[in-house]
Amino acid sequence: MTTPIAQDQIRPRSPSARKPVGLALQGGGSWGAYTWGVLDALLASRSLTITQLSGTSAGALNAAIVASALANGSPAQARKALRAFWLAVARPAVADLGRPLWGPVERAWRDSVSAWLLSSGMLSPYAVNPLGINPLREIIAAHIDIDAIKSKLAPALYVTLTNVKTGLPRVISNEAMSIDALLASACLPMLFQAIEIDGEPYWDGGYCGNPTLWPMIHGGAARDLIVVQLVPDEASETPTDGPSIRQRIGEIVFNSSLVAEMQAIAAMRQLAMRSDGTSNVLDLRLHRIGPPQRHLVEPGSALERSRSWLLRLFNEGRAASRQFLGRHSADIGVRETLDVSRVYADVHKPKVRGAANANSTALDTTMAPVALQPETQR
């Protein structure tokens, strides 16, 4: 059972001719540069204003950069901040300095992931990287203003982490934001030691919420939510070689939480329409940009950090975002453009047997999970 958000916890909207939107940003390593391109076009739009963001892993970093830059300046400043961050990640000097750490870790992960998936063991980051050094820490500190995110000028921000011990998601919002929270949201356990927050260890949030939608739905800062999806919906054919199999397993795992939330939204809408018709999911309008074309998400590409590769992803993301705006800018604030039931539900429905009903009927809904409540609502 969910708890409604008090009205005084919701940031009032400032008068604006622009349409308010919330952004839900998936994670995916260097594929986050595709999201950089998407955000660049959305921030350049004169018809939209970003009032809330939810992100996981690379999506959390992109969301935090936008939130801090908007608090300190303007959409133009946010575009500059995103570009500076991703070029810093790709800068040759940074790559050279990081090679002694990143090179062995990445090679160890690639060499051991097959054995790990077969439950025969894997090399631990505690052995490969005993000092627990994370190259992202300094880059995050240089490009994200945590104090600005905590200020009242920032749009609402929600970042998802996975508790290692409980396996449950933890959603952190503006007031509780920290560099450690962002690092934890992007902490792949095959590469990095768990990040400790409040005495608890955390891994990449993609295992539990990639990204988490419920805080934005309940927050109400925008009724239009744009999901920037990086993980492909489908595979064109059954993978048969090792790298392709591992790739598809990862896609299914990291997309499963989004699929579950979308199915829950569809189910709650059906239940609301059958009852009194009052629910905050009925006036919710969902949209989507992505996923990238399949050739951009080949095995191993999420770890590629060359400047040319990141800029290629950026250009692809910006083109997709501009195409979305060209087709659907007028729909925002009016109608939903994402067919949730078609994209996130299997066409084959099980037959449900009920004691009170002798006739079997096809199951067309799923049970909605308990909505996540972030630690501090905005």
143: pLDDT strictly greater than 60: yes
| Cβ(90)–Cβ(306) below 8 Å | yes
Residues 88-138 have pLDDT tens digits of 988 654 444 444 444 444 444 443 333 333 333 457 888 878 888 888 899
| Residue-level pLDDT at 17 | 80
DSSP strands (E only) in the chain? 19-25, 48-55, 156-163, 169-173, 195-197, 200-204, 224-228, 285-289, 351-354, 357-362
161: pLDDT strictly greater than 80: yes
What's the CA gap between 41 and 142, in Å, rounded?
Answer: 24
1: pLDDT strictly greater than 70: no
Tell which wins on pLDDT, 131 or 42.
42
| Cβ(269)–Cβ(282) below 8 Å | yes
Q: If you average pLDDT over residues 255-275, what whole number do you get?
A: 89
| Residue-level pLDDT at 91 | 61
Q: Are strands 224-228 and 19-25 parallel, antiparallel or unpaired?
A: parallel
Least confident interval from 37-46, 120-129, 210-219, 227-236: 120-129
How does residue 4 score in pLDDT terms, banded at 50, 70 and 90?
Answer: very low
- Residues 6 or more apart whose Cβ sits within 8 Å of residue 12: none
Q: If you average pLDDT over residues 332-350, what whole number do you get?
A: 91
What's the CA gap between 176 and 182, in Å, rounded?
Answer: 11
Tell which wins on pLDDT, 363 or 137.
137
Mean pLDDT of the chain: 83
pTM of the model: 0.82
| Residue-level pLDDT at 373 | 52
| Residue-level pLDDT at 299 | 60
| Residue-level pLDDT at 353 | 83
Residues 266-309 have pLDDT tens digits of 988 888 888 776 677 888 999 999 999 888 877 656 678 888 88
- Residues 6 or more apart whose Cβ sits within 8 Å of residue 247: 239, 297, 298, 299
Q: How would you write 120-131 as a 3-class SS string?
A: CCCCCHHHHCCC
Residues 313-334 have pLDDT tens digits of 999 999 999 999 999 999 999 9
| Cβ(52)–Cβ(125) below 8 Å | no
Q: If you average pLDDT over residues 183-211, what whole number do you get?
A: 94
| Residue-level pLDDT at 278 | 67
Least confident interval from 16-25, 88-97, 203-212, 262-271: 88-97
58: pLDDT strictly greater than 50: yes
DSSP 236: S
| Residue-level pLDDT at 271 | 85
